[in-house]
């Protein structure tokens, strides 16, 4: 199973990000979407789960949860926008992967048997940070993470 990861689009869904996410079995958007049209485009590709980021305001964003815990491909995933706001004991909750955004920095680290993944920012470039997306590849109970820098100008 392939779970596409995207975050911090900030109103810009690049064609390169869409191309990367095409073929995903599920897509997770970790917030700072900044537009319902982005969610609609992603939902055309695969089932979509999204959380609200600190820049997601207005009627379109009102029903987005701040956090969500879901099971995809037998793997329990907890998603929120800003890792600093993590308010649950993920290991005690049976969570295998935590997906976040906010920092715009792609990162992956394993602590205490839990993978912490930030796909980085797929929208407008900030500072000299890469424009990036990611994926979780799930097979049986194994989870592999791939973070990809998009080729953008």
Domains of the chain: 2-149 (3.60.21.10)
Higher pLDDT, 127 or 111: 111
Residue 42 has pLDDT above 80, yes or no: yes
d(CA 150, CA 153): 9
Residue 141 has pLDDT above 90, yes or no: no
> H-helix or E-strand containing 6?
strand 2-6
Q: What is the reported pTM? A: 0.97
Q: What radius of gyration, in Å, describes the C-alpha atoms of the chain?
A: 14
> Six-digit token pair at 97?
């992967």
Q: What is the mean pLDDT of the chain?
A: 96
Residue 152 has pLDDT above 90, yes or no: no
Residue 6 has pLDDT above 90, yes or no: yes
User: Residue 93, exposed/middle/buried by CB under 10 A (0-12, 13-18, 19+)?
Assistant: exposed
> What is the structure's pLDDT at 30?
98
d(CA 51, CA 79): 7
With residues binned 3-state (H G I as helix, E B as strand, rest as coil), the percentages for the chain, rounded to 5, are 15, 35, 50
The SS3 assignment for 13 reads coil
Tens of pLDDT along 77-93?
999 999 999 999 999 99
Residue 153 has pLDDT above 90, yes or no: no
Residue 138 has pLDDT above 80, yes or no: yes
Reported as a pLDDT band with limits 50, 70 and 90, residue 15 is: very high
Which region holds residue 19: left if phi is over 0, alpha if psi is between -120 and 50, else beta?
A: alpha
């Amino acid at each position: 199973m392939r779970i596409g990861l995207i975050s911090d689009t900030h109103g810009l869904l690049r064609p390169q990000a869409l191309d990367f996410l095409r073929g995903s079995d599920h897509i997770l958007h970790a917030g700072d979407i900044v537009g319902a049209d982005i969610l609609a485009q992603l939902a055309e590709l695969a089932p979509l789960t999204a959380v609200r980021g600190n820049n997601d305001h207005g009627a379109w964003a009102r029903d987005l949860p701040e956090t969500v815990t879901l099971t995809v491909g037998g793997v329990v995933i907890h998603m929120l926008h800003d890792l600093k706001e993590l308010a649950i004991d993920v290991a005690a909750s049976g969570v295998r992967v935590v997906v976040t955004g906010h920092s715009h920095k792609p990162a992956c680290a394993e602590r205490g048997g839990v993978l912490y993944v930030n796909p980085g920012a797929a929208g407008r470039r900030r500072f000299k940070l890469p424009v990036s997306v990611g994926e979780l590849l799930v097979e049986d109970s194994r989870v592999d993470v791939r973070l990809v820098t998009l080729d953008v100008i």
